[in-house]
Amino acid sequence: MPLTMYTLSIPVFARGFSALGGLLDKAEAFAVESGTPLDDFFNARLAPDMLPLSGQIQRASDTSKNAIARLTTLEVPRFPDDEQNFADLRKRIAKTVAFFDTVTPEHLEGSEKREVTLSFPNLKVTFSGDDYLLKFVLPNFYFHLTTAYDILRHRGVPIGKTDYIVGLD
């Protein structure tokens, strides 16, 4: 499969959300087995100044779908960050993946040359589309995916690398 903006984004995001869904499955099973309230995982964080598990999933969703908005002319759904439990997180994952199912390779044609400007409180950065995807979006997406994994692993959920790197079979 040739590397295109589509193949570097949509399948990567979908696979990441598949992994997140599997991690939530394992966390729920562990909660039942160990008698741990699910809220202990939902609100868990690695450090006081980091987002909890719920926030990591919200940011993975926002990072990936907002990237598609910036790289195309598609109208991207907005989701309020109002998830209250694992069922709500699963719905957000499903809605995000459902949006990706509507994106075609044609939507992303030429987006590697599209100019993307991000404005932060103390920084304004302009990227070409391919640099934006490769140097900002994918690292940010994987940061939140990895942090979700790390939170659950830190809380004792029996997960390993194969739960994070799914779809190798």
Per-residue pLDDT reduced to its tens digit, 76-135: 999 999 999 999 999 999 999 999 999 999 999 999 999 999 998 999 999 999 999 999
- Spell out the domain ranges in the chain: 10-164
Mean pLDDT of 156-164: 94
pLDDT band for position 168 (cuts 50, 70, 90) = low
Closest CA to 85 of 27, 34, 35, 143: 27
The domain made up of 10-164 has a fold known as Four Helix Bundle (Hemerythrin (Met), subunit A) (1.20.120)
Round to whole Å and give the CA distance between 70 and 115: 9
CB 102 within 8 Å of CB 44: no
**3-state class of 161 per DSSP?**
helix
- For the stretch 2-24, pLDDT in tens is 899 999 999 999 999 999 999 99
CB 121 within 8 Å of CB 38: no
User: What's the pLDDT at 166?
Assistant: 77
Please give the model's pTM, rounded to 2 decimal places: 0.94
Round to whole Å and give the CA distance between 16 and 143: 11
- For the stretch 25-50, pLDDT in tens is 999 999 999 999 999 999 999 999 99
Query: φ, ψ for residue 109 (rounded to 5)?
Result: -60, 130
